[in-house]
Amino acid sequence: MKKTYEIAGDVMGFFDSFKGSKPAIDNDNILIVRGKSRKVLPINELQSKLSQIGEIIGGKEIDATSDTITEILKSGDKHIKENEEITSSIDKHGFMRMKEELESMGLVVEYKVFELPSYDVVIAIWEDKHELPPLYVEVTVSKREE
């Protein structure tokens, strides 16, 4: 079974965003890593690249309209609050608001959620709508609650 850092490392390496990436949150139950790459992807390939890395890490993709995503985000929120001081809750709508805000600034945002045997993984990527660098990458690896 892969560990959180191995999963995050696979994602960062795939998008060539490992150099300079750093954990935003790292505790026993959740790891959030953010990075950026000088690589630019054609906008019409963002979804397929996310699917490709999902296969590489051995994840089962969760449908974007599924209620399961809300449960995964709530679980991640709980893991964050265990060791971090957070003032507001995270939910599917908050995640979508973040996506809308980035898009209103001229960025194209894509994300996918994957289930692994012991973890849930959310991968979000975004870049300028004119395909200008950088490509931003964020991966969240959260221990699945049983």
Domain that holds residue 69: 4-143
Q: Say what the pLDDT of residue 141 is.
A: 96
CB proximity list for 13: less than 8 A, separation 6 or greater: none
Q: Which of 1-5, 14-18, 55-59 has the lowest mean pLDDT?
A: 1-5
pLDDT of residue 87: 45
Average predicted confidence (pLDDT) for the chain? 87
Give how far Cα 127 sits from Cα of 2, 9, 65, Å.
Answer: 29, 20, 23
Encode pLDDT of 70-87 as tens digits.
788 778 877 777 765 554
**Between these two residues, 145 and 7, which has the higher pLDDT value?**
7
In a 3-state reduction of DSSP, which class is residue 56?
Answer: helix
Q: Residue 91's pLDDT is what?
A: 52
* The predicted structure's pLDDT at residue 115: 95
How does pLDDT run across 83-128, given as a tens digit for each residue? 655 544 555 556 678 888 888 899 999 999 999 999 999 999 999 9
pLDDT digit string, tens, across residues 60-71: 999 877 888 778
Residue 139, pLDDT score: 96
Short-list 10, 128, 120, 39, CA closest to 76: 120
Per the structure, how many domains does the chain have? 1
User: Where does 1-146 show beta strands of DSSP type E?
Assistant: 22-26, 30-37, 60-62, 107-115, 119-128, 135-143
By C-alpha distance, which of 55, 72, 83, 76 is closest to 113? 72
